[in-house]
Amino acid sequence: MSLYNCCYVFGLAAFYFCYYGTTQNAVVGFAPTLPSTTTARTLTRHAAERDGSASTVSGPPYSGPSVKPILDSINFPSDMKGLDMPQIKQLANELRWEVLEAVSKTGGHLSSSLGVTELTVALHYVFDMPDDDIIWDVAHQCYPHKILTGRRSKFPTLRQQGGISGFCKRAESEYDSFGAGHSSTSISAAQGMSIAKSVLNKRRNNCVAVIGDGAITGGMAYEAMNSAGYLQSRMIVVLNDNGQVSLPTGTPSAGGTVPASQLSKYTSNLLVSKPFQDFRDFAKSFNKLLPEEMQGVNKRIDEYTRGLVSGGTLFEELGFYYVGPIDGHDLENLIPILEKLRDSPNTKPVLLHLKTVKGYGYPPAEVASDRMHGVGKFNLGTGAQYKGKPTEPSFTSIFANALIDAAIDDRAIVGITAAMPGGTGMDIFGRRFPKRTFDVGIAEQHAVCMGAGMACEGLKPFVCIYSTFMQRGYDQVVHDVAIQNLPVRMMLDRAGFVGNDGPTHHGCYDLAYLGCIPNLTIMSPSDEIELRNMVMTCAGFDDGPTVLRYPRGVGYGQEKLQSLFGYKLDNNEIPTRGEVIPIGKGRIIRGAGGMVESTSSSTRGKKRKDRIAILSIGTRLHEALVAAQEVEDMYDDLSVTVADARYMKPLDVDLVRQLADDNGVLITIEEGSIGGFGDHVLHFLALDGSLDDGNLTFRPMVMPDAYFETGTQFQQYEEAGLNARHIKGTILRLANKIEVPILEQIEQEEPQYNTTTKK
């Protein structure tokens, strides 16, 4: 390179740094660095002082404003337009405490919503919903948004039966542009809306995707950004960078205790601002006038300089105009920036990078954001959550400890989770085996395929994912695991109804969507003893992939296991270690008149039509046993046999044949949708000829073909008709002991069912 070229190169680099260093803060006022956790909390205190709200968080005891005059004047976002900056700041403070006061009484997703309060106020002040679209991803950040959009009076019903959803829901309000109970979908949806507005020549085209709480780690977000940059779709992506990647973030794992995402480290180093972007655009235009050799040199200098200053160029290389990072709690800075982006005629997609503090404005949430991500009812003055009566261990913790037992004996066992270590028990496993725990972030497809790769080399991966989230890894289950018959163990937590999170989180479909895949072994435990046994069975099964599904909830305890399920426990103690059970073999739990061992002298069910069998899979076995006892207490001539299938694949055909041969009525029950276990049993009976002579009446009891809204799990099973009284009613109708009610009678009783508050 000539002396002239060398001087030009170093001179250009010096000019970049000088220009950037002297203009960034003066022109735009962006935060020059992203705060660390400690700095972020200092930022919170300074912001409270700046906004005049420091006195409201100086506890404990913590308390908010006694009156909320600004919030009281806001029914819809249009009411905000005339506010001045001091009033806007006061509104944000009042709104935060409105969320806190309500959630302390109902429970819900707290810290995420506290962290976006200022952003919510700014977005609704700048944009005009519902003409403009704002998409919240993940939508549990939407509590402040709901209060500002006409639902303040309904907020005490949050996540309750008949109340408002804990996520955005299009059917609930025209201000909920898009539902996002799962994550990483907002950018795709915003792009689709932007294209539609453009094609339809709509006057306004403002589409905002707020993506945060780890949702940016999902691969779909990058597929959308790649497309948006290529198609030059007008949209604003607001990256709410609160340091949250997994729940909880920082679980001991093979990657250490840092957030489970290299992207989190990447975004924490980004420092690119609008003036630098403008200057670089000018430099590129000027570059075209230079000789070809010099163009290449300038390009390398430009990339090198951007790398030093920003820590990378990922978002810009995807075609986005990057702005940030910005203090997401600084309304004086945030609002004018949003206004400029709104009014820009540019069609290029924009990524606005905000640094926020999860749990902002409420010290107990700031210092323990993971613990207060999802909360039950809590003491507002101290942040302490109210504890219920001591209960049995959760199925999640039982699974985790059973897996630890298996891993102690087998060093090939590893655990994989997709950003849900707390929800799946991988945090418990990770504390015992950090180097054998792998959190991949919100990336279910990757988790399943990575498990397949591990299995190829001889490891025994347990891929632990919520049933509802496994839907996103379906192709990998088929293509990468089942077709190759790799021994990947897929643990599906939250099978069945999950309660207050509603339809986006129910595990209703796994039996249906997995049951049609060859090579899978699918099992579901009826109780905590069976769960431990099935974990050990999966650990010892190397002949193909296995699926173990289990519900949200707690075990039954030794007393009920013995009195209702018929277990004989040594010293009345539940075994702490599981045992391997035979693959594809169910069991009969209850015969005519009681438990199996006490039925030899029973005189019940002398006629075939009076003999009823219930074949259950999963934890509906409890309800089946209760119903069976109640029926036999009512009628001396009826006998009710109850069996636990254990497996959907391979189906225990010998057990099914036995029940079909011995009884006049066969009922299946499951915690799943149409197309699941009952359909598999019916398919076998039809092919086996068991239905040909008309001597067997068959009824599957499944979740109706509908979505079930928020409520308790008991309420949801009540609405679905899968509790003990519904099983009892089905038995009595099929045994001709009661008449089938007509539609008018059902409709009259329905309000009574919906007001059930038990459990």
CA nearest 114: which of 143, 134, 75? 143
Q: 207-222: string of b/e by CB count within 10 Å (b at 16+)?
A: bbbbbbbbbbbbebbb
Residue 659 CA to residue 663 CA, distance in Å, equals 6
| Cβ atoms 571, 604 nearer than 8 A | no
* Cross-strand pairs, 546: 489, 521
| Cβ atoms 465, 490 nearer than 8 A | yes
> Token pair 């993971």 is at which residue?
370
Where helices occur in 52-84 by DSSP H, the ranges are 69-72
CA nearest 241: which of 215, 219, 278, 274? 215
> Token pair 């008018």 is at which residue?
744
DSSP-assigned letter for residue 664 = S
Choose the catalytic residue: 444, 623, 632, 719. 444
User: CA distances (Å), 621 to each of 527, 587, 728, in order?
Assistant: 9, 12, 13
Q: 52-66: string of b/e by CB count within 10 Å (b at 16+)?
A: ebeebbeeeebbbbe
Q: Is 351 helix (H, G, I), strand (E, B) or coil?
A: strand
472 carries an active-site annotation? yes
* Nearby residues of 4 by Cβ (< 8 Å), 6 or more positions away: none
444 carries an active-site annotation? yes
Choose the catalytic residue: 68, 152, 358, 611. 358
Q: Is 597 helix (H, G, I), strand (E, B) or coil?
A: helix
Amino acid identity of residue 677, one-letter, is: F
Amino acid identity of residue 103, one-letter, is: V
CA nearest 642: which of 602, 610, 614, 612? 614
Residue 451 CA to residue 463 CA, distance in Å, equals 7
User: What does the DSSP assignment read for 203-255?
Assistant: S---EEEEEETTGGGSHHHHHHHHHHHHHT---EEEEEE-S--STTTT--BTT
DSSP-assigned letter for residue 148 = I
> Token pair 């920003």 is at which residue?
310
Residue 559 CA to residue 565 CA, distance in Å, equals 10
Residue 59 CA to residue 49 CA, distance in Å, equals 15
User: What does the DSSP assignment read for 266-320?
Assistant: HHTT----HHHHHHHHHHHHHHTTS-HHHHHHHHHHHHHHHHHHHS--HHHHTT-
Burial of residue 616, with CB atoms counted within 10 A of its CB: 0-12 exposed, 13-18 middle, 19 or more buried: buried
Choose the catalytic residue: 152, 460, 472, 611. 472
Q: Is 62 helix (H, G, I), strand (E, B) or coil?
A: coil
The tokens of 145 are what? Answer: 């948004």
Which contiguous run of DSSP H or E holds residue 464?
Answer: strand 460-466
Catalytic residues: 358, 444, 472
